[in-house]
Structure 1
Amino acid sequence: MTEGYGQHRWDDTARPTHRINPGRGLVSVLDVASVSHWRAVLLLTIAALIFFLPGFFAIPPLDREESDIAQITKQMIENDNYVDLRFQNQNRQSESVASHWLQAAAVHAVAATGLPRTSVRIFPYRMPSLIGGIGAVLATYWAALAFAGRRGAVLAGLMLCASILLGIEARLARPDAMMLLMVTAALGAMARAYFEWQRGDERTPARGSVASVFWLALTGGLVIGGPLMLMYVVLPVAVLAVLDRSVTWVRRLYPALGMLWLVIVTATWALAILVQGGGLGLMLGTLGGDVWSRMALLPMFQGGPPGTQFVMFFALFWPGAALAGLAAPAVWRARHQPGAQFLLAWLVPAWLVAELLLPKLPHLVLPLLPAVAIMIAGTVERQALAEGTWVSRGAMWWFVVPAVISVAAVVASIVFTRQPAFAAWPFAAGAMIFGLVAWGLYDLSRAERSLLNAIAASLLIGITVFGILMPTLTPLFPSVELSRALRNMKCDKPMAAAVGYQEPSLVFMSGTSTLLTDASGAADFLQQGQCRFALVEGRYERAFAQRAEAIGLLYAVTARVEGYNYIHGRQISVAIFSSDGTE
């Protein structure tokens, strides 16, 4: 990595001759990291691990999408068939197979360590997301070097690292964090090619490597996210072509060789799928992805008017979002500068598509957040944030958000577990203190220090919520208790049928053979032999009893699990029935 692109910062207006630097605390850490690239990379890597690891191993599988994706990978491993995408008997050929292959590789790697029951532990399936999240933070730093100095680039990486949305995605067994890495790397390479063209450089030593990064990232994004990758890449090119009345800068990415590489990889990929027995549907799914298929797994995001993504941004990109509005005037003033023009082309058109044409899934705007982070970091670096009486009100959110989240998390713990979760209180208090300091310190000359305190508050919020509270909210994860109850039965290889509560996490944890049926089907299932259990939600117990009486089934209640189904927003009580004589 070089800093030669720093001269193409998006705002070439006058900069302060000196930086206010108290030289202590969090700012001193940034000072040390900004001395060299390896220090910056080391700091960002350590920071990403500290931010993403709390709760990574302890939080149970989440419904629905994470458990659904993990179960598909699990069946791949069980059947030793890596081209047949299925959730039980449901065909899922419309999904991208690449993300499942990454998960399968991680599961095999963890299993090689000798850890028992690897396939039903969720954390190996999350490993690609953790790697993608760390890589995305480093890619943001690398991309930001084209627009700002090393200090600003580190700040941009820290903002992305501390964002709530990436903190969630890096802990989930989904392809979104890896997709973020691919988009950020591709756009970072595009920015360098664009700036070379803007300043008229005929050739630079890094040109070939930059093109290689672009085509590798584009290929990876296509096999992981399908045509969405093209949206994030093609829209900026189209906007810049209109603004500059030229696309000749694209030649610096060696498009002929790149397309040849893409064709070779695609053909090899398709041939491998055909040899392994996959069909046309799998190939189209692999290269096409299916945003709409994820809607059934995320019902809370099925609707929403235009502007929904914008509103969610201020929560999901916290703490950096608190400065987004303050940076906007400086970015707008510099909109004709190459850097600001490129960042706006990266951000605005894809955001409009996500707002107007696509489902309101938060991960669709995740690849746009590095552009926002770079804009804010560049503005902070130049002390060009907007001033006014409303500024302090915006900075107030650095305190309000951790206060609200901390109180809500502790209250949730008390409501669901009847425990006050004292272990979380010091971290919650620390988050509020750092947030209060960030708010209290804020002024134009100390924005950097305030932001660093807000980032520290975000870290403590992550420890509070993900590291301590979520793993203890056992009523929210009935599948864990149900699968544990089945494992504790005194018979070998218990089989289960589920009625009412039929979330993907139950199939993942209790076994692929778990039958999802109705009350009559569960009674019939129970009558077919020993070591069989019916998991019947309370609403269906009467229907189960009626069918059992009709067929002469003798049964007993082995256990009962109380919980809360957060997908449907209701309390549930699941009885575990066994046929008479089975324990």
Structure 2
Amino acid sequence: MQALLRASDRFLTIAARSHARAAALLLLFGLLAFTPGLFAMQPMDRDEPRFAQATKQMLETGDFVDIRFQGEARFKKPVGIYWLQAAVVSAAEKLGVPDARHQIWLYRLPSLAGALFAVILSYWAALVLAPRREAFAAALLFGATILIGVEAHLAKTDAAMCATAVVAFGILARLWTLRRTASITIGETFAFWIAIGVSFLLKGPVVGGLFALAAVALSLRERSAAWLRPVADWRAILLALLIVAPWFAAITLKSGSAFFSEAVGQDMLGKVAGGQEAHGAPPGLYLLIMPATFWPVSALFLAVIPYLWRNRSDDLVALCLAWIVPAWIMFELIPTKLPHYVLPLYPPMAFLVMKALSDGADMSRGRWRAVALGLLPFIPILFAGAAAAAVFVLEPGGAQRFLPLIWAAPLFVLAIGLAFIGARAARRNAGLALAPILALATIALSWSVYQNAWPALRSIQLSPRLAEAARAAGCADPRMATVGGYNEPSLVFLTRTDLVMTNGVGGAAFMAGDGCRVAFVESREEKTFLDEMAQRSATPRLLTRVSGVNINRAFERDRRTLRVMDFGVYLRDTSRP
């Protein structure tokens, strides 16, 4: 262990020799931690393929103002992430990537870039708070957390928004730290307002609201808001408005008040008023899941809480708590809860851990610290057990079903071993040398889960398997329908925008039409479908059968019986004799 700690300490010293080296090493770490599974994982229902499909429809129609999923307006979020995804997919098409519009990994690249920027910008944000070595360790700790890794893998807004939030926090940190001695530069002022403008196009007023809450809390502590004056530059504010206004004007002209009615009235205020889309939960959920979503840093954060309480009047601690505490309380009080809502609060939480470690906070004694540090090995053990249990429950067959996990097993063991070393080293007050060790544990866990364990669950990959069966139909560009209630957005994304969703009777009417047609008929509607086809004297050909589990409706109504869906993939082609 001592040799590993010495190597870890040496790594931090080497990384801190220049800003360029620190940024390059953080980029390398991010690529190692965030890219596993990026190409292997299917579109993750339901939010990810909704975003990707709306982008695909923009490319199909050439309308980059209106946001739609099939025929319905999708006005929950502004247009920013769709434009980023469309730019990537368009570039991929020009570079000759086959079937680019159906490749989910291309739509994930803006999220990957957002996560990488968030990690590197965390280093920049921390530089005003600590020396280069400590700032690098803080950024490494944040990048090692599970939640930023999850969001890097999903084609939606949160990783990119997190990068803008880190910029806003970095400017707040500079305003606060320099309030009595100097001021931020005009470039930093413009950077702040550009970040606010971009964040508004990504997810509305979230980042601006976080900044405002923290600024109010710090102003109350300072008994003055004069320290915020340097950021109030009308030229920079005008630039932010120029970033935001054109699309909002265009969507208003196109939809009238529909966008604001849905985005503000239904989505934002609806989440405040009550739990939406079955995501309601009581206050305290984020604290309950934080040990997993903020792992491995959560264990250290919980262990240093006594230190943070004793040092709550410290400028750095006060700054980070002002960003974290009011926003955390707000998120806990909002009935609708999703794990990624608190992601912008994790960078300053990592900074607090960095502060405690660099100050030599004692973690060698106390039952509380022992329990907290026990989370380090417990979480990867939990993931390994969950992977094995998922294969056992979801996959058919005997012992051979576990063979796809053969490469995941040693990686899980490595992650668990590094976590045990990290816990033991923390009990010996190893300080910042913990950061690279925990980063390695995250890399091992990422490769085991995203690249090996998740793709091994073939039974939950219904949409990719159905789409593959349709491509094997032998006719170009067949019309398609899903019959029997499997209406997941991933199936729309992987097949056709005009995918018909219907029942057995409607499926038969669809298949009676001209041309090449494919229907995915769930077994519960199959008899009705075939009877209706017989009455129409139109006999479809069964291409294959596909069975599996819809991860969003994995159990029957009794909540105990696994619901295995079985599809007949039928073809009827009137263009052939």
TM-score (norm 1): 0.90
Aligned to 2:569: 576
What runs of 5+ residues in structure 1 fail to find an aligned partner? 1-19
Quick one: distance in 1 between partners of 2:225 and 2:167?
Answer: 20
568-577 or 124-133, which moves further after superposition?
568-577
Which of 132, 140, 144 matches 1:162? 144
Q: Quick one: which amino acid aligns to residue 396 of structure 1?
A: G
Structure 1 160/437 Cα, relative in aligned 2: closer, same or farther at 3 Å? same
Quick one: distance in 1 between partners of 2:103 and 2:535?
Answer: 40
Which of 496, 511, 532 matches 1:511? 496
Quick one: distance in 2 between partners of 1:555 and 1:106?
Answer: 39
What is the deviation of 1:273?
A: 5.0
Structure 1 426/366 Cα, relative in aligned 2: closer, same or farther at 3 Å? same
What is the deviation of 1:173?
A: 0.1
Q: Contact between 1:63 and 1:503, CA under 8 Å: does it hold in 2?
A: yes
Q: Quick one: which amino acid aligns to residue 359 of structure 2?
A: R
Spell out the pairing of 1:181-220 with structure 2 (5 A cutoff): 181-197=163-179, 200-201=180-181, 203-204=182-183, 206-220=184-198
Q: Contact between 1:96 and 1:289, CA under 8 Å: does it hold in 2?
A: no
Quick one: distance in 2 between partners of 1:115 and 1:216?
Answer: 32
Aligned to 2:88: 106
Quick one: distance in 1 between partners of 2:299 and 2:393?
Answer: 31
Is residue 2:33 matched to residue 1:59? no
Which of 68, 71, 76 matches 1:89? 71
Aligned to 2:304: 327
CA deviations 1:178-208 (Å, max 9, x no partner) are: 11000110111111012211xx22x45x522
What runs of 5+ residues in structure 2 fail to find an aligned partner? 396-400, 555-562
Instruction: Figure out how many residues of one structure are paired with residues of the other and give that number.
Output: 557
What is the deviation of 1:311?
A: 0.8
What is the deviation of 1:274?
A: 6.7
Q: Contact between 1:143 and 1:185, CA under 8 Å: does it hold in 2?
A: yes
Structure 1 449/94 Cα, relative in aligned 2: closer, same or farther at 3 Å? closer
Q: Contact between 1:96 and 1:285, CA under 8 Å: does it hold in 2?
A: no
Spell out the pairing of 1:11-90 with structure 2 (5 A cutoff): 24-90=6-72
498-507 or 571-580, which moves further after superposition?
571-580
Quick one: distance in 1 between partners of 2:375 and 2:34?
Answer: 22
What is the deviation of 1:58?
A: 1.5
Q: Quick one: which amino acid aligns to residue 327 of structure 2?
A: A
3-state SS, counterpart of residue 290 of structure 2: helix
Q: Contact between 1:319 and 1:451, CA under 8 Å: does it hold in 2?
A: no
Aligned to 2:222: 244
What is the deviation of 1:414?
A: 4.9
Quick one: distance in 1 between partners of 2:112 and 2:327?
Answer: 25
CA deviations 1:228-287 (Å, max 9, x no partner) are: 223211111111222222111111113433333333333334455578x56553477789
Structure 1 488/518 Cα, relative in aligned 2: closer, same or farther at 3 Å? same
CA deviations 1:453-503 (Å, max 9, x no partner) are: 233212101000101222232211111111111111122211111122110
TM-score (norm 2): 0.91
3-state SS, counterpart of residue 78 of structure 2: coil
Q: Contact between 1:526 and 1:533, CA under 8 Å: does it hold in 2?
A: yes
Is residue 2:466 matched to residue 1:478? no
Aligned to 1:177: 159
Quick one: distance in 2 between partners of 1:532 and 1:22?
Answer: 61
3-state SS, counterpart of residue 487 of structure 2: coil
Q: Contact between 1:34 and 1:154, CA under 8 Å: does it hold in 2?
A: yes
Quick one: distance in 2 between partners of 1:478 and 1:430?
Answer: 31
Q: Contact between 2:88 and 2:109, CA under 8 Å: does it hold in 1?
A: yes
121-130 or 261-270, which moves further after superposition?
261-270
Quick one: distance in 2 between partners of 1:162 and 1:147?
Answer: 20
Structure 1 216/340 Cα, relative in aligned 2: closer, same or farther at 3 Å? same
Q: Quick one: which amino acid aligns to residue 61 of structure 2?
A: N
Structure 1 92/170 Cα, relative in aligned 2: closer, same or farther at 3 Å? same
Aligned to 2:520: 535
Quick one: distance in 2 between partners of 1:580 and 1:33?
Answer: 62
What is the deviation of 1:544?
A: 2.1
3-state SS, counterpart of residue 567 of structure 1: helix
Aligned to 1:449: 433
Identical aligned residues as a percent = 32
46-55 or 248-257, which moves further after superposition?
248-257
Spell out the pairing of 1:261-300 with structure 2 (5 A cutoff): 261-271=239-249, 273=251, 277=254, 279-282=256-259, 290-291=267-268
Q: Quick one: which amino acid aligns to residue 380 of structure 1?
A: L
Q: Quick one: which amino acid aligns to residue 470 of structure 1?
A: W
Q: Contact between 2:548 and 2:566, CA under 8 Å: does it hold in 1?
A: yes
Spell out the pairing of 1:340-359 with structure 2 (5 A cutoff): 340-359=317-336
Quick one: distance in 2 between partners of 1:37 and 1:162?
Answer: 20
Q: Contact between 2:34 and 2:149, CA under 8 Å: does it hold in 1?
A: yes
Aligned to 2:475: 491
Q: What is the alpha-carbon root mean square deviation over aligned residues?
A: 2.5
Q: Quick one: which amino acid aligns to residue 292 of structure 2?
A: A
